[in-house]
Amino acid sequence: MTTKERLHELVDRLPEGSENHAEEYLRYLLESGDPVLAALKSAPLDDEPETQAERKAAEEARKDVQANRVVSHEAILREFRG
């Protein structure tokens, strides 16, 4: 039996409810070789207080989304790809 076959067997035997943890760990193993991802994961949380200007900008953005005054990612790609 190959290693991948043994892994598949283990996945099939996972107790109900533990699938998300297993997936998280497998993704971690796949991504751990990426130095950028490693740097992002080890970066400290942003501990600077939000400014009044930032709060206002976020509120305006939420209002734009609610009013559908946004442009989709697809539309932007179509515009710039010609």
Residues 13-31 have a mean pLDDT of 86
Give residue-wise pLDDT tens across range 34-73: 788 778 878 888 889 999 999 999 999 999 999 999 999 9
Structure tokens at 39: 């740097």
Would the pLDDT of 78 be above 80?
A: yes
CA distance 71 to 64: 10
The one-letter amino acid code at 44 reads P
- HEC profile of 8-74: HHHHHCCCCCCHHHHHHHHHHHHHCCCHHHHHHHHCCCCCCCCCHHHHHHHHHHHHHHHCCCCCCHH
